[in-house]
Chains A and B, each alone.
Chain A
Amino acid sequence: MLRNVFCKSLRDQTRPLVMWVLGVAFYVALLLSIYPSIRHSAGQLQGYISSLPAAVRAAFLGPGGDFSSPVGYVNTELLSWLAPVVFIAFAVSIAARSVAGEEEDGTLSLLLAHTVGRRRLVLHKYAAMIVIVTILGLAFWLALLVATAIAGTPVGAGTLAEALLRLTLLGLAVGSVTFAVSGACGRRQAGIAAGAGVGVAMYLLNTLAQMNADIRPFRFLSLFHYSGGAAPLGQDLDAVGLAVLLGVSAALLLVTLVLFERRDIRV
């Protein structure tokens, strides 16, 4: 695990990764274990939800607000806002620790003095982030697959995989914002602020766009629009959405490479 910067970065992130995976598995298990009782009273619940003002429904439940089917339940309770938050928060924390973490810890100059090279350092750190966030996506997928099966409400493995691919890419795209900002200025906090700010702004934009016709045309500016919005589960994968998420990430990686190449390293 000490062969190169990529392997070392994976090793460094193992512990946080395990914690997040356990958290996800626990929450998914909890949620699905109470589903049978919720489904039992789904009719009442649905009636209550329908009585809520549309704006409240959209803001807190997404357009679905649907508890009657497993897909609707998982979408509403998990994938509409909690899962994006998990993926974004995880990716942002990993990204902030990547380049800026080493720099603030003072180990970056040591790596660079040992013939790593700036471009290689950025690429290794970015590759490690991709792998780690993808592992969280796989863990999430597996947890949902197992939990829905145990709860007797199976959702197709393929359907789940599509939703989690979207969310993983969403996390990576917002994580890339953090990666670029913290890599360009060498400060963890700046990167976290940027990533969190972008994440919240885009979530709000996407949600408000569902309620307000005036904002609707600007929906395309939100990354959530491309990750399936409030109901990632059960939508067909669209090539444009995936391309946008991947494109944004790639562009931000490129920006990082250019900016990191140009600046002074704090020694």
Chain B
Amino acid sequence: MLLDLIRPTSGRALVLGRDSHRDTLAIQALSGYLPGELSLYPTLTGSETLRYLANLRGGVEWEHVRALSERLDCDLTKKVSDLSSGNKRKLGLISAFMARPELLILDEPTSGLDPLVQHEFYALIDEVRDAGQTVFLSSHVLPEVQRVCDRVAFIREGELIALEDVSGLTGRAVREIEVVFAEAIPPAAFAGVPGVTQVSVDGKNATTLRLTVTGPVDAAIKKLGEFRVLDLTSRLPDLEDVFMTFYTDGGDHAA
């Protein structure tokens, strides 16, 4: 919608101070876009693809394209149809970055990228941020969001339901902890611990405890210290869970 590919049912959007519908071309000239589902021309090579897109856009320094492709370790001589999805993604990233746009709109930029390239990509994001460029990044991977973003917006069914600093967000993260004890454990022991929102016990002889903890896990961990712990697994909180807390918290506030 910001690039005027789809139209709002009502209202309007301002991008970099310009109306998204009336000044579409100006906005597009100032932004780089990586679609979530990237489609390229299978018969072109990587460098042909980028040349075409650069020609359409104009004002792209080919040296910059070459530098980007080297940093992301992208082979430009192969045909797109012979590339893996990660390598296609790299072409998409280069096309988004190549014009040094003021605004980058990246949809799931790291899906399919290997860890080394991911790392390089994060470095690239840091650089453009330091250069004053804005990055809109959509992602389902919380560590990625934590790593690169300053602020996070939650969108549910087309509605913006929350806009938060990342630091505030992780404080509210929900995490599931599974603990196996040496002996049976009374679930009531964890009922009043700060942050613990759900407790359940199962496994043989009731030795396995499942805790759902919101926010800091400090109190729950200290409480665990009172028992003999054999094993402990903590599942990484994902955005879905954080999203759920936002949702329920919102309800609470409203009430």
Contact = CB atoms under 8 A, between A and B. Distances in A.
Interface string B25-37: 1001101010111
Contacts of B29: 115
A113 B41 contact: no
A264 B39 contact: no
Interface string B209-221: 0000000000000
A112 B3 contact: yes
Contacts of B53: 110, 114
A21 B116 CA distance: 50
Contacts of A4: 55-56
Interface in B14-71: 24-25, 28-29, 31, 33, 35-41, 44, 48, 51-53, 55-58
A267 B6 contact: yes
B254 interface: no
A97 to B, nearest CB: 13
Given A106-B39, A264-B6, A267-B6, A113 B33 contact: yes
Where chain A touches its partner, the secondary structure class is: loop
A8 interface: yes
Contact of A2 (B3, B7, B35, B51): B51
A78 B52 CA distance: 41
Contacts of B58: 115
Interface string A103-115: 0011101111111
Contact of A265 (B6, B36, B37, B40): B6
Contacts of B95: 110, 114
B71 to A, nearest CB: 21
A117 B53 CA distance: 13
B131 interface: no
Interface residues of B, number: 27
Nearest to B7: A264
A189 B247 CA distance: 43
B5 A112 contact: yes
Given A2-B52, A4-B55, A110 B24 contact: no
Contacts of B28: 112-115
Contact of A109 (B5, B31, B51): B5
Contacts of B36: 267
Contact of B5 (A8, A107, A113): A113
A116 interface: yes
A112 B5 CA distance: 8
Contact of A116 (B37, B44, B56): B56
7 contacts: A2-B51, A114-B57, A114-B95, A117-B24, A262-B7, A264-B7, A265-B5
Interface of B: 3, 5-7, 24-25, 28-29, 31, 33, 35-41, 44, 48, 51-53, 55-58, 95
Interface of A: 2-5, 8, 105-107, 109-117, 262-265, 267
Given A2-B48, A267-B6, 8 more contacts: A2-B51, A115-B58, A262-B7, A263-B7, A264-B6, A265-B5, A267-B5, A267-B35
